[in-house]
Structure 1
Amino acid sequence: MHVTEAGDPAPSAARKRPKDRKAQLALAAAELFCERGYHGVSLDEIATAVGISGPAIYRHFPNKYAMLVHATRQMSETVLAATEGPAELETLLGVLSRLSVEGRRVAGLYQWEWRYLEEDHRDEFRADVVTLVHRLAVPLMGVRPELTDLDAAALVRAALSVFGSLGTHRAVIAKGRAEAALHRIARAVLRDEPPTPLPPAPDDQGDEPALRVGARREILLAEAVRLFHRYGYHAVGVEEIGRAAGINASSVYRYFPGKADILAAAFYRASERVAEVTATALQGARDDEDALRRMADSYVDLTFERSALVSVYLAENNNLPSTDRHELRKVQRLHVEEWVRLLVRLRPEVPAAEARVLVHAALNLVTDLSRWVRFDRRTGMDRHLVRLALTVLKS
């Protein structure tokens, strides 16, 4: 008599366990982590996705964290294996475009979910990214010998943000069109003037200034955003938020029913700020070209001046209460559509589906770069990023 993975007796004709079950589990876990967030997924849900029982997972992984490590490594190994060996820049861009489309559902590992890795695994992931950057920077400098190592690395980072952007949204587009668009956008970015290289952002870069005057609710919200940004939503408790705001945990509940409501308030605040800067940018624009430039300019300013708020807005969506999540996603889509409508008017030859890919790529490039460089107007970094965003939109 045979036994199924669930441990139940089964007929002798029962299907044998696939040899690639571990890879199947890792892929299912990665897709669920990216869809709902690492903390929002249970082992039972991962097991169900591949048709086995929860306990059967332990034949392959000791816990959920091991699945995150394996999935992240699998993603890195796939990309590094596909880009190994000498290759022309165009060939590498084609490979990465294809991988981005094929791995769209797990791209969130690169964007956000890797934050939940422990420090040694995080260092491993960062080392893989550095290797990939080097593999593209070498042929790029061959094509553009005027670039320094730092210039080339900055442009490659921007191009990788373009490739990663496809996983930040679910806009429908044919695979072939998506692949061609990503290839074209990345090529345009690499041909652009490099953003001024700056030292990596310190750990507290982008923290909202702690408010010590004004309404207690505003102080709590500012401190919560700062803590969510630095440690992630699930690593922060109401006690820590209250302590940072100078009150005890029980007093926090006078202002917010719970931690999820604080997060929702932060999201609504971010949505309001995005709406404000978009409206301001569009008011008084001379024409569509000027409106697009002003929108890019305002988005760069918002991202760096309120980078903690923007990062929480982008990374913690899955932790919102269901009603707020659906409402805020609708608001996000409406904001993107403002860009899309403007871009299609300027470039009527670009289908709306492709315009959405361009818009998401431009927005993601700005927010991505804001996480690894310091923003200093004296260096012209703001101008560099506005130009790169416009390069993406016009590619």
Structure 2
Amino acid sequence: MTTPRTSTRNRNRRTEILEAAAGLFAARGFHGVSIEDIGGAVGVSGPALYRHFAGKDALLAEMLLDISSRLRESAVAVVTSASGPAETLDALLNVQITFALEQPALITVHDRELGNVPEQERRQIRRLQRLYVEEWVTVLAELHPLCPPPRLRAATHAVFGLLNSTPHSAGELPDQAMRPLLHAMARAAIDASVNVH
């Protein structure tokens, strides 16, 4: 029987492995990293990782499923608790900005390596991402009821592209300066996109 302490230790070890793997995959690419490299980054032998993951592709799949799920859950929490659509949009922007500033390696890994995720898990990731986008579209539709949903969806994807550019600008500005800059640019991009005729 697994005790709570053992379960927490295993979860912490899995998180440590996922974080190390994200950094390695971002720096060297999925195919440029071995199980032994990941093990070495967390201070264990490569084969010891098989106690936590079935293989490198399973590790990649869990990494991207986890962040896709967490973003969706954060959006649902925001949408169900915010007081109105303008406040909800600001909160959604803050969720995405926090992710963009804190997880640039995951952004790089997703952009470059999603094709290396097994097909079943890749479909799950895509589904979670679509649901996340629809949370945004629902809020934007309340703010801009005359704007067609396809345009709102396109605007949402464009804003993600803007915010998720952080792997290219990491370190240029401190977070306390970068956060309001990204927020202002994203709001301006949304306003511009819904007002185009």
TM superposition score category, shorter chain reference: 0.7 to 0.9
Cα distance in 2, alignment partners of residues 258 and 381 from structure 1: 37
| Structure 2 counterpart of 1:219, from 16, 21, 25 | 16
- Alignment gaps of 5+ in structure 1: 1-212
1:250 aligns with 47
2:168 aligns with 371
Shift of 1:304: 0.7
Q: Which amino acid aligns with 1:317?
A: L
1:342 aligns with 139
Summarize the Cα distance change of 1:359–1:310 in structure 2 as closer, same or farther, 3 Å threshold: same
Q: Which is worse superposed, 255-264 or 272-281?
A: 272-281
Q: What aligned pairs does 1:1-395 form with structure 2 within 5 A after superposition?
A: 214-215=9-10, 216-374=13-171, 375-378=173-176, 380-395=177-192
More relative contact order, 1 or 2 (CA 8 Å, 6+ apart): 2
Q: Which amino acid aligns with 1:337?
A: E
Summarize the Cα distance change of 1:255–1:285 in structure 2 as closer, same or farther, 3 Å threshold: same
Cα distance in 2, alignment partners of residues 277 and 371 from structure 1: 25
Q: Which amino acid aligns with 2:25?
A: F
For residues 260-280 of structure 1, what are the alpha-carbon distances to aligned partners after superposition, in whole Å with 9 as ceiling and x for unaligned?
A: 000011012212321233234
Whether the 8 Å contact between 1:270 and 1:310 is mirrored in structure 2 is no
User: What SS does the corresponding residue of 2:51 show, helix, strand or coil?
Assistant: coil
Summarize the Cα distance change of 1:223–1:265 in structure 2 as closer, same or farther, 3 Å threshold: same
User: What SS does the corresponding residue of 1:253 show, helix, strand or coil?
Assistant: helix
Shift of 1:354: 1.1
Cα distance in 1, alignment partners of residues 30 and 51 from structure 2: 20
Cα distance in 2, alignment partners of residues 247 and 333 from structure 1: 37
Shift of 1:370: 4.3
| Structure number having the greater helix percentage | 2
Cα distance in 2, alignment partners of residues 377 and 244 from structure 1: 26
Cα distance in 1, alignment partners of residues 148 and 109 from structure 2: 31
User: What SS does the corresponding residue of 1:257 show, helix, strand or coil?
Assistant: coil
Shift of 1:255: 1.4
Q: Which amino acid aligns with 2:62?
A: A
2:3 aligns with none
Cα distance in 2, alignment partners of residues 377 and 265 from structure 1: 28
Whether the 8 Å contact between 1:277 and 1:299 is mirrored in structure 2 is no
Cα distance in 2, alignment partners of residues 292 and 315 from structure 1: 28
- Alignment gaps of 5+ in structure 2: 1-7, 193-197
Whether the 8 Å contact between 1:266 and 1:313 is mirrored in structure 2 is no
Shift of 1:371: 2.4
Give the RMSD, CA atoms, in angstroms.
Answer: 1.8
Whether the 8 Å contact between 2:72 and 2:129 is mirrored in structure 1 is no
Greater C-alpha Rg: 1
TM-score (norm 1): 0.44
Whether the 8 Å contact between 1:223 and 1:245 is mirrored in structure 2 is yes
Shift of 1:376: 1.5
Cα distance in 2, alignment partners of residues 334 and 284 from structure 1: 18
Number of residue pairs matched by the alignment? 182
Summarize the Cα distance change of 1:225–1:392 in structure 2 as closer, same or farther, 3 Å threshold: same
